[in-house]
């Protein structure tokens, strides 16, 4: 899952990025609404955590500008205003959920994951292919009942493979979905991670590679 954090409070933004990353998400950050629009043109974000009271391009305007896009992230709006009228107006401009500051971080994580599951193209919660069962919400992955013991990045890669099954997913798509904007697109990071996932899955090996196309699990 890839998340964009748009928060002008630098200290809070760092906390958000660290917490979301520790929860297994690929996270990019900006403190500016206009820069957020640019990032949304470059990467396929699943969820945007958006501070409503941004300087310059206000969070409401940012929401309004992306509402009609065919492919847009789900929006969790953060604000210091918690009155019912504020919540309603936030949802009216296109936010999908609303969380008042201060908030409990575990609740924010749950809301981000819930929003990602609400995207129209998302499959049922538990993904099952080739004897593998992966539950993104519970962060569990097993094959034939055997826990796979995956790292954060391994879990995310396997989730994307299962989401794409029976189709292929390319190295570039995996980089976009699992790694943040600082990932080196010329490194063998994806191949190395796929190799570790293969070893943990064991035989019969469900992951196949088609040179020039990508990886498939079936």
> Rounded to two decimals, what is the model's pTM?
0.65
d(CA 62, CA 38): 11
Mean pLDDT of 185-205: 90
List every span in the chain annotated with CATH 1.10.10.10.
127-217
Architecture of domain 2-118: 3-Layer(aba) Sandwich (3.40)
The values of phi and psi at residue 79, to 5°, are -160, 155
The two tokens of residue 197 are 């996932």
List every span in the chain annotated with CATH 3.40.50.2300.
2-118
The two tokens of residue 183 are 């990932």
- The residue among 95 and 106 whose pLDDT is bigger is 106
CATH of 127-217 given 3.40.50.20, 1.10.10.10, 3.40.50.2000, 3.20.20.70: 1.10.10.10
pLDDT digits (tens, 9 = 90+) for 100-128: 888 999 999 999 998 988 876 655 568 88
Maximum separation of any 2 CA atoms in the chain, in Å: 56
Secondary-structure breakdown of the chain: helix, strand, coil percentages, each rounded to the nearest 5: 40, 20, 40
Which residues, in sequence order, are CB contacts of 102 under 8 Å at separation 6+?
A: none
pLDDT digits (tens, 9 = 90+) for 12-71: 999 999 999 988 899 999 999 999 988 998 888 999 999 988 877 888 888 888 876 767
């Amino acid at each position: 899952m890839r998340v964009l954090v748009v928060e002008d409070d630098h200290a809070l933004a760092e906390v958000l990025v660290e917490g979301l990353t520790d929860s297994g998400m690929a996270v990019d950050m900006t403190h500016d609404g206009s820069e957020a629009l640019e990032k949304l043109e470059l990467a396929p974000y699943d969820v945007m955590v958006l501070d409503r009271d941004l300087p310059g391009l206000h969070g409401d305007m940012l929401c309004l500008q992306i509402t009609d896009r065919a492919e847009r992230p789900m929006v969790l709006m953060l604000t210091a205003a918690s009155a019912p009228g504020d919540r309603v107006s936030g949802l009216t401009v296109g936010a999908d959920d609303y969380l008042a500051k201060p908030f409990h971080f575990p609740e924010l994580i749950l809301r981000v994951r819930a929003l990602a599951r609400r995207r129209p193209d998302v499959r049922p919660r538990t993904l099952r292919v080739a004897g593998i069962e992966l539950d993104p919400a519970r962060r569990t992955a097993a094959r034939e009942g055997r826990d796979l013991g995956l790292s954060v990045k391994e879990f995310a890669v396997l989730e994307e493979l299962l989401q794409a099954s029976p189709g292929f997913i390319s190295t570039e798509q995996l980089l976009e979905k699992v790694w943040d904007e600082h990932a080196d697109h010329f490194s063998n990071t994806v191949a190395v991670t796929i190799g570790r996932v293969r070893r943990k899955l064991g035989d019969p090996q469900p992951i196949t590679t088609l040179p020039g196309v990508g990886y498939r699990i079936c």
